[in-house]
Structure 1
Amino acid sequence: MILTQCAVCATDLGLSLGKKCGRCSTRYCGPECQVQHWKEGGHDQLCKKIKRSGGAEQYNANKKYTEAVTRAAEACADDTKGQTCYICTQALHWKTKEGLVRGCSCRGTAGFAHVSCLAEQVKILVAEAEENNFLGSDKFVPRWARWYTCSLCEQDYHTVVRCALGWACWKTYLGRPETDKLRRTAMNLLGGGLYSAEHHADAASVMEAELSMMRRIGGSDNSDIFVAQTNLASTYQALGRLDQAMCLRREAYAGGLKLFGEEDNNVLSAANNYAKSLLTLKRSEEAKALLRKTMPVARRVLREEHRITLKMRWNYALALCCDPSATLDDVSEGVSTLEDAGRIARRVLGGAHPTTEGIENALRDAGAALAAREGDCVTSVCEAVAAVNLLDGS
């Protein structure tokens, strides 16, 4: 996570509280912890090294990035065996000695790369955008998207690969002022990467710091706040902080409608996330009503194969199955919806994508329960799908 806690006692300091080491900017809640860290915690040996690395935040980001790249390469080792990077054409990176990854929807021999090669490519593209004053134009968006989207299959990276790229992005831009657009967006990308890799506690720490910063510098009616609220709510959901998640999602969805309108991708994603919170709190009628209103918009604007549309249909199917008043026809419709969404997800995203796996797991459990217990279909399906995580639309 980014450094928002005392290095000794882990007291939460937010982005501005506490005291910093005058040399390397390591953060403490007060002078007592700072003295203890110097005398007993080994800071006297590390202080100069941290300063040479660019300060405590940079030192921490560099270390976390290296760890994340190692984890990503290890997780992808079986899939990448015998392959080479499509950027540098080497199996082992010549400088970092890191292994290959592939965390997108590429198949066959396509899409294998080193995280550092992917990062260098996008850094060059973003630097060119800055030099040509593209940051406020549509030309900037596809360049920045390379931090989280594969240029070959045009699908988002996921899990440990996305996490490694999140740390690569954050360590690149963290030294800039809080008001700098790239620094703010890098913090957002890091939080999303940690979430994708299921490091939810660390993701919450980053996202809480981001939302606090947005509210301090961005005003009360700001699109950045909308995004930060949406992401933090998803993390609260994953941590089991369900009421907090639902309140944030309701607030984000309402604010997004005013800012962008019902056809915006982010608003549709927020609607799906809000529906998920309602489902988790067993408010299935409200979830169904919301999804019946927003699913037709998603299918028209984003098309059937978009991840948000697929996830809306997934959540709608589960709302049908888990409603205590559901009829056999309702449950059958839910199973049919999962079958159709699963076919589309496998064709577009591939069988290894988390969305495809989640839909197929839900289908397998719901279908088996329905076939075995037609006489008590609602109870059996609810029990079966209770262990399946409802996926966010982000």
Structure 2
Amino acid sequence: MILTQCPVCAAPLPHTSAKQCSRCKTRYCGPVCQKQHWEQGGHDKLCRKIRKGGGAEQYHANNKYAEAVTVAAEACAEDTKGQTCYICTQALHWKTKEGLVRGCACRGTAGFAHVSCLAEQAKILFAEAEENNLDYNTLGTRWKRWDTCSLCEQKYHGVVRCALGWDCWKTYRGRPERDEFRITAMRMLGSGLTCAGHDEDALPVKEAELAMLWRLGASLHETLVTQSNLANTYMKVGRLESALQIKRDVYSGRVKKDGEEHEYTLIAANNYSSSLNSLERFEEAKSLLRKTMPVARRVLGDNDENTLRLRWSYAKALYRDPTATLDDLHEAVETHEDLERIALRVFGGAHPATEMIQGSLRESRAALSTRSVCEAMAAMTPPGDA
């Protein structure tokens, strides 16, 4: 369940013992709140509508998806003006009348689509793979259409990713709790909320996912992925020590399970270094990154987003460290400049990763300029002068 709080008092809801409306399955912390919601909270008027909408969880997901599509289309309106959907070839969706979006690395006149069209494409491709009992790798490739553009092969970001996350969840949430792709749909939702900056909303989704995996006795891989995602959200809401502890455990778990050269281990190393940087433990971060960056460049390549993020984390550790030398600051600027060139070529200027690297580049240049001026002035000051 993604509805993890009582709609009346916002208390956390237990997984199995929560009081619920017998008609629409809306859950409450107890009978007092259920009665209050019916008599004073308007549930008496909404109950039938929620039931017709598939129950509380489905009704909630449908509404959130509709809101997210509207937000995404409005956010992309300037970029999509005068364009048509590359899937249905229309400007307005024939049924929903929604506007166009573009939230990937496509540029020029490529990549414009309706969220509904992108979602329908993903549903059809995945359903075909399941119906024809295609192999697991094919299932995974088809599933990628939920978060990855079929044209530029880069992940969607921002509010577009959020809208697709809600559609993915509302599509598969009715499957059995143990169904792998129901679990993955929940993860898609949490990731989408994070991409749109809704970290407080993403937190209970990711906590619910981890609790569910523990309850089901999920594989170590699934648990590590979910712990990592949860730790990233803890960071975003300011719970830095909690995030660091989880990320350290995840990195250690990945090294033992997958080895130091596996992509999952490299992702875990980047997440761990990010927490170290946030807590200003720069020497530990640099030590970890000096070990993992060459591995990522060899295994994943310089253009891979994970390689870029590892190098970016290292460059930030260099220039943010108060003990940084002038050589460290020069290296930070040079690394940022190389990362910017790669990001512009691979993702384009409007991609969040590119914008974050550019912002960090400006900060590193400012740090270098300030240090250079200070050292130049110190060199010009005669010995003994104040």
TM-score category (smaller protein): over 0.9
Task: Kindly tell me the number of residue pairs found equivalent between the two proteins.
Answer: 375
Aligned to 1:104: 104
Task: Describe the superposition over 1:300-358 as per-residue Cα deviations: whole angstroms up to 9, x where unpaired.
Answer: 11100111111111110111112232210011101110010111001111001111101
- Give distance in 2, aligned partners of 1:204 and 1:352: 27
| Structure 1 position 319 matched with structure 2 position 312 | no
Aligned to 2:76: 76
Name the aligned partner's letter for residue 323 of structure 1: D
- Give distance in 1, aligned partners of 2:51 and 2:94: 27
Aligned to 2:19: 19
Report how far residue 270 of structure 1 moved: 1.1
- Give distance in 2, aligned partners of 1:29 and 1:315: 43
Give me the identity figure in percent.
64
Aligned to 1:347: 345
- Give distance in 2, aligned partners of 1:251 and 1:14: 27
Report how far residue 267 of structure 1 moved: 1.8
Task: Describe the superposition over 1:180-239 as per-residue Cα deviations: whole angstroms up to 9, x where unpaired.
Answer: 1111000000000000001001111100000000111134x5211011001000000000
Report how far residue 253 of structure 1 moved: 1.1
**RMSD of aligned Cα (Å):** 1.3
Q: Check the 8 A contact 2:319/2:367 in 1, yes or no.
A: no
Q: Check the 8 A contact 1:338/1:363 in 2, yes or no.
A: yes
Report how far residue 376 of structure 1 moved: 4.6
| 3-state SS, counterpart of residue 136 of structure 2 | coil
TM-score, normalization by structure 1:
0.93
| Structure 1 position 202 matched with structure 2 position 201 | yes
Q: Check the 8 A contact 1:84/1:112 in 2, yes or no.
A: yes
- Give distance in 2, aligned partners of 1:348 and 1:113: 21
| 3-state SS, counterpart of residue 253 of structure 2 | helix
Q: How does 1:40-79 map to 2 (within 5 A)?
A: 40-79=40-79
Aligned to 2:214: 215
Report how far residue 16 of structure 1 moved: 2.9
Task: Describe the superposition over 1:371-394 as per-residue Cα deviations: whole angstroms up to 9, x where unpaired.
Answer: 2441558xxxxxxxxxxxxxxxxx
Aligned to 2:184: 185
Q: Check the 8 A contact 1:320/1:331 in 2, yes or no.
A: yes
| 3-state SS, counterpart of residue 139 of structure 1 | helix
Report how far residue 242 of structure 1 moved: 0.1
- Give distance in 2, aligned partners of 1:206 and 1:213: 11
Q: How does 1:1-394 map to 2 (within 5 A)?
A: 2-134=2-134, 137-219=136-218, 222-376=220-374
Q: Check the 8 A contact 2:326/2:371 in 1, yes or no.
A: no
Name the aligned partner's letter for residue 13 of structure 1: L
- Give distance in 1, aligned partners of 2:162 and 2:261: 29
- Give distance in 2, aligned partners of 1:367 and 1:260: 38
Runs of 4+ residues deviating >6 angstroms:
none
- Give distance in 2, aligned partners of 1:279 and 1:14: 36
Name the aligned partner's letter for residue 106 of structure 1: C
| 3-state SS, counterpart of residue 138 of structure 1 | helix
- Give distance in 1, aligned partners of 2:292 and 2:17: 42
Higher Cα Rg, which structure:
2
Task: Describe the superposition over 1:140-184 as per-residue Cα deviations: whole angstroms up to 9, x where unpaired.
Answer: 111000000000000000000000000000000111111011110
- Give distance in 2, aligned partners of 1:5 and 1:281: 31
Q: Check the 8 A contact 2:115/2:164 in 1, yes or no.
A: yes
- Give distance in 1, aligned partners of 2:203 and 2:17: 18
Task: Describe the superposition over 1:79-109 as per-residue Cα deviations: whole angstroms up to 9, x where unpaired.
Answer: 0000000000000001001000000000111
- The runs of 5 or more residues in structure 2 that have no matched partner are 376-386
Aligned to 1:382: none
- Give distance in 2, aligned partners of 1:130 and 1:79: 36
- Give distance in 2, aligned partners of 1:321 and 1:32: 56
- The runs of 5 or more residues in structure 1 that have no matched partner are 378-394
- Give distance in 2, aligned partners of 1:70 and 1:279: 36
| 3-state SS, counterpart of residue 137 of structure 2 | coil
Q: Check the 8 A contact 1:2/1:60 in 2, yes or no.
A: no
Aligned to 2:379: none
Report how far residue 17 of structure 1 moved: 4.0
Task: Describe the superposition over 1:28-64 as per-residue Cα deviations: whole angstroms up to 9, x where unpaired.
Answer: 0000000111111111111111111110000000000
Report how far residue 18 of structure 1 moved: 1.7
Residues 14 and 200 of structure 1: CA distance in aligned 2, closer, same or farther (over 3 Å): farther
Q: Check the 8 A contact 1:218/1:225 in 2, yes or no.
A: no
- Give distance in 2, aligned partners of 1:306 and 1:276: 18
